Amino acid sequence: MIPDSRVEAFLEMLAAERGAAANTLAAYQADMDDFSGFLGRTQQVSRASAADIAGYMQSLGTSGMAARTQARRLSALKQFFLFLLREGVREDNPAAEISAPKLPKSLPKYLSESEVDALLDAARGMEGLPGLKAQAGLEILYSTGLRVTEMLSLRASALTTDAMMLLIKGKGGKERMIPLSDAARHAAAALRAASPAKARYLFAGRDISQPMTRQGFALLLKQGALEAGLDPARLSPHVLRHSFASHLLAHGADLRALQKLLGHADIATTEIYTHVLAERLQKLVQAHHPLAVKREGG
């Protein structure tokens, strides 16, 4: 691979102008490194042609890489070359006309309302500080729809018992207001009271000056799932976010309001939950409609 200073400039732009998180930057870096490896030792990434990119995408498909991962790699390249175009480094975007592989239709995974209740009951039975973190995390994620990184970055002073709304800075530094439930505020208060006095974050890590890691919180959720009699493989912080959205829609929430709560820039991202609701309603009709029942019974 040939080092390319323009890749570094691109990553700096993502961090400074778009507020990209460290994990996002690492993913972009990995994508650019992979393309550079494909080009070999004779060419910098910033000098690649449309034929180079097409050949790269073909190699990804031949290798059996998942279509979604291929699409993400191409998206990274398109953004990189668009950055070079806007900066005047190039006069074209060689990735612009390259088509992404067709993605399989996938619906977000979510829990039923009774399964969420079972999880919350199990968390209340978990002991010590880990139990308080599990309970507070479940209450906050399920009642607000926050991304796990947004929740773990909450300061120790967040979710005071008299606060009705929570100000969240999400992707790209965009702020949004989220209403708070009584259960979330009280669970946060209990966690705060049991945490070290000098902890800077509500969900403090082993180093109390740092927040708990996503991996650490995910392990707590897995433990809660086992206690609740659920398959741990079905549970993750993002599944709780999907459950929040799916259950709100099922109870009549407005799609635009849900978009604001989730912090989606494009309502098309939120609309996937309407497919979840449609699938649930279809199953309900098939299971309970008199004609469907008669036909199944012969």
288 is catalytic: no
264 is annotated as an active-site residue: yes
Query: What token pair was written down for 29?
Result: 């870096």
Q: How many CB atoms lie within 10 A of CB 235?
A: 23
The single-letter code of the amino acid at 206 is R
Is 275 marked active-site?
Answer: no
171 is catalytic: yes
Exactly one of 6, 73, 192, 241 is catalytic; name it.
Answer: 241
Residue from 147, 185, 192, 242 carrying the catalytic annotation: 147
Tokens 């004609």 belong to which residue?
Answer: 291
- Catalytic one of 200, 238, 260, 280: 238
Catalytic residue from among 171, 214, 222, 260: 171
Which of 28, 56, 201, 273 is catalytic? The answer is: 273
The structure tokens listed for 194 are 């049991």
186 assigned to active site: no
Is 147 one of the catalytic residues? Answer: yes
9-41 residues labelled b (16+ CB within 10 A) or e (exposed): ebbebbeeeeebeeebeeebbebbeebbebbee
Distance CA 133, CA 144 (A): 16
The amino acid at 73: R
State the catalytic residues. 147, 171, 238, 241, 264, 273
